[in-house]
Structure 1
Amino acid sequence: MLAPIDWRAAERGLPPGSMLRFRPEVAAGLWAGDAEAVRFVTEIGVPFSNGLFRILEELADRRPENPDWAFAKPLTEWLVETEHGRLRQLGELYGGFVYLNLDDGTIWVCDPDADEEYELIHRDISSLSYLVYKIEVEKPTPEERPTPYDWANAEECVREGMERWDEVPFGDGTQFWEAFMDSYHMT
């Protein structure tokens, strides 16, 4: 895993039900041959982050504390053959559809507003989880009555150190997370 942070401590800092986990039998099929990734998605998962990431219902290990709107319906084509490999939809991410490349474990997005049909956004699932987690904990709350400076500071904190784990999200040519950051103050 690219982001070997203390995930248990991170989870304790989030509201109950914030982590969305995959069913073990589903994870074993999606991340075939990668026991570490299977363990990660079944024991840790991806933060819901108030709807930034929503997992497909049929993949999820639903827990009573998970909010109902944390689950998404699949596209009709949840498995697609692309020039990038076989992509399997995992859920929704900020207005786009997030996919796992079944051949190499990379994370892709299909954003209807982007120039590219499928864009590489993370080298693995732990990197996606880490970035979504950072966004959740760094964004100011409405009660804080944030100023543009507060949003700029939060964005800087989100970006900071990300390249240590994965250079893809904010690397040259990556548009998805840049577009998100451009609209960050509205999330």
Structure 2
Amino acid sequence: MGSVLVKIDWARVEVPSGHLLKFRPELAVRLWPDPDDARFASEFGIPWTGGLFSLLSGVAGENPGRPADSYENSPESEPEETPVGRLFRFGWLSDDTALYVSTADGTIWFSDSNSDVEYEQVHRDLSSLVYLLLLLESERPVEGGYAPYEKWEESIRIISEKITRWDDLPCADPRGYWGMFFDSYPMY
């Protein structure tokens, strides 16, 4: 992937079969102005992350073996005119945070129903969102069950350091979406 922001060896990322939710290629090229970003969306995709992320079915490409609850049934929508520009909704984080891509520059925006901010830019590109979701899974101090809070704090520190190497935006504001998410990370 040429100009994607996070430059890791994406081919070596291990995710269970079907858990990378991909965009339809013809739609991805309409949404991402950079061809490498569009290819990343349709060839690599976004990890389901144990149900944290769900893709709108109207944008989904073929994803054999995907988890049953990885899509929200919806027709393909059109970009919306918002106060921050043209945004296209493509999925959800948790149950109350809509994910958007800016069709002007490929940045990722959230609209959280629990926030005072209507739209918040949270990633400079899709690879940054994907990398952060992968870190949330790989850096968890336990797989289910209990872990002391200090272990969670260490995981948050590691995640923040790793994502900030590529994109400082997710961790820039402790009152922003990811700052608030990290405060509740032990419950995830």
- What's the TM-score once normalised by structure 1's chain length? 0.90
Question: Residue 3 of structure 1 aligns with which residue?
Answer: 6
Superposed CA RMSD in Å reads 1.9
Identify which range, 128-137 or 64-73, moves more after superposition: 64-73
Q: Cα deviations across residues 54-95 of structure 1 (Å, max 9, x unaligned)?
A: 111011113221101111234997632112100100100133
User: Secondary structure, in 3 states, of the residue corresponding to 2:69?
Assistant: helix
Question: Residue 53 of structure 1 aligns with which residue?
Answer: 53
Q: Is the 8 A contact 1:49 1:133 kept in 2?
A: yes
Distance 1:162 1:98 in 2: 18
Q: Give 1:179 shift.
A: 1.0
Question: Residue 85 of structure 2 aligns with which residue?
Answer: 85
Q: Is the 8 A contact 2:58 2:76 kept in 1?
A: no
- What's the TM-score once normalised by structure 2's chain length? 0.90
Q: Cα deviations across residues 3-40 of structure 1 (Å, max 9, x unaligned)?
A: 01111211x2x222221111111111111x41101111
Q: Cα deviations across residues 131-182 of structure 1 (Å, max 9, x unaligned)?
A: 0111011112115x32212211221121113222111101137610011101
Instruction: Please give the residue correspondences for 1:37-48 in structure 2 after superposition, counting only pairs within 5 Å.
Output: 37-48=37-48
Q: Give 1:184 shift.
A: 0.4
Structure 2 unpaired stretches of 5+: none
Q: Is the 8 A contact 1:55 1:71 kept in 2?
A: yes
Q: How many residues align?
A: 183
- Higher percent of residues as helix: 1
Question: Does the C-alpha gap of structure 1 residues 22 and 132 become closer, same or farther in structure 2, counting only changes over 3 Å?
Answer: same
Question: Residue 115 of structure 2 aligns with which residue?
Answer: 114
Query: Structure 1 vs Structure 2: percent identity of aligned residues?
Result: 37
User: Secondary structure, in 3 states, of the residue corresponding to 1:92?
Assistant: strand
Instruction: Please give the residue correspondences for 1:108-187 in structure 2 after superposition, counting only pairs within 5 Å.
Output: 108-139=109-140, 140-142=142-144, 145-172=146-173, 175-187=176-188
Q: Is the 8 A contact 1:80 1:87 kept in 2?
A: yes
